[in-house]
Amino acid sequence: MPIDTHPENTAFLLRRGNGYSAEQFQALRKIRVTGTGCEILATLALVDDEAIIGAGEIGLGEQAFRRLGLPEGAEVAIAQARPPASLELVRRKIEGETLGEAEIAAIVADIAGHLYSPMEIAAFLVACAGFMSTPETLALTKAMVEVGNHLHWDSPLVVDKHCIGGIPGNRTSMIVVPIVAAHGLICPKTSSRAITSPCGTADVMEVLAEVDLGEDKLADVVARESAVLAWGGRVNLSPADDVLISVERPLRLDTFEQMVASIISKKVAAGSTHLVIDIPVGPTAKVRSQDDAVRLRKLFEYVARHMGLVTTIVFSDGSQPVGRGVGPVLEARDVMAVLRNEPDAPADLRDHALMLAGHVLDFDPAIEGGSGYARAAELLASGAALAKMEALISAQGRNPVKPVPGKHHYDVVAPASGRIAAIDCERIARIARSAGAPLDKGAGIDLLHKVGAPVRQGEALFRIHANSQTGLGFACELAAEASGYTIA
């Protein structure tokens, strides 16, 4: 049935006419659907209109139909689904117990197998957010790698870079990757879509090129261009993480432990051997103190070391958004301005990307220690990085639609004259998401002034873009409550 029930498997049955009483239907809240060589668990929805589905038929939502893998008209059997045995382990975690490696592996395998409902997944996530030991975090990482696909590359040095997020506009990966690839290092950058932010790297790259690449296409792009900028979900890397993220997003959960397991599992599954991790620290960032930054760094180092991944961890300035644009189209504009060496390109985005690219290039044994930054700056200034980005866009499949900001916009103005003392990263992100980002590619925020800039009363601080009046209205209401700007 053409119904999107993401992330849940949903099955539809006629309430009457199948030989079941209403009480039996109620008991079948979750059912097991079994066909030749395949089966799924699905949440049951009852239908009262025979024009939608007939007696003796079962309808599956898009996700369930794809996961079962049978053609329309295939015969299946249904039965009441017993709860996965691993749910008892989740109950123990809720009660505060520390779980062992095999126990966490059992939970993750069932989550990856779509045996948990979103409510059951949320219970596991919230229990882990309450307390999760370092060995449990490592066990979660290992389990997430085991249940997914693994990419392999014919090179002893496969590099990557990842930012933990939380800073609007910080789209450095789309500058770092072409710089590193232009140098000749292999960099298969697979990214998630946004979890709690206005967009992720995959959301922004999708403005320019296809990111939903199958494994063969992804491998072909890397073989030709030494890199890729793709969505990781299509190639089934750490699929349990994708399921967890779909529940984390509406709950706005993003704990250090889940973050580390998510990032490291995806990088190991993608075949990376060396990784630069960017941890922005600031009063409204994900990491708000130096003590928290050190704790997160140690957790990354512990898990990465046990997973055989060489890491360089960088603390960066997370006190305000990076660049000017917040939202897929606006961030893609900033990235391309930096790669094209345009004179008005955001200097903070360029400098931050060069710093990170330098750390990645320092992994290359052929580069003299500490000279990675100079090499990165050379590749950007010469146009080699831009040429590589254009080659990547063409190889992945150029988006024929010209990226433009949302057709509706509204300027948020300064309530008084003064100097901008602070910008709240979390507030700016929430306003951009309210406007419709990342699903509305043109939605987001143009930052017209940054910290330290003088402004006059009534002067525009930032411009909200949206492709719907409704989205614009939501964002404007949120900005009216608090703009995120502090003027001193």
DSSP summary character for residue 443: -
The DSSP annotation for 76-143 comes to: -EEEEPPPPTTHHHHHHHHTTPPPPHHHHHHHHHHHHTT-S-HHHHHHHHHHHHH---HHHHHHHHHH
CB 246 within 8 A of CB 112: no
Q: Are 78 and 32 in contact (CB under 8 A)?
A: yes
| Token couple for 16 | 């009457």
Catalytic residue chosen out of the listed positions 160, 242, 254, 364: 254
Residue tagged 């997944």 (tokens): 121
Q: What number of other Cβ atoms are within 10 A of residue 52's Cβ?
A: 12
Q: Is the peptide bond before 7 cis (omega within 30 degrees of 0)?
A: yes
- The whole-angstrom separation of Cα 105 and Cα 316 is 34
Is 254 part of the annotated catalytic residue set? yes
Half-sphere exposure of 238 (CA within 13 A, CB side): 28
Q: How far apart are CA 413 and CA 435, in angstroms?
A: 17
Rounded Cα gap, residues 154 and 475, in angstroms? 48
Residues marked as catalytic: 254
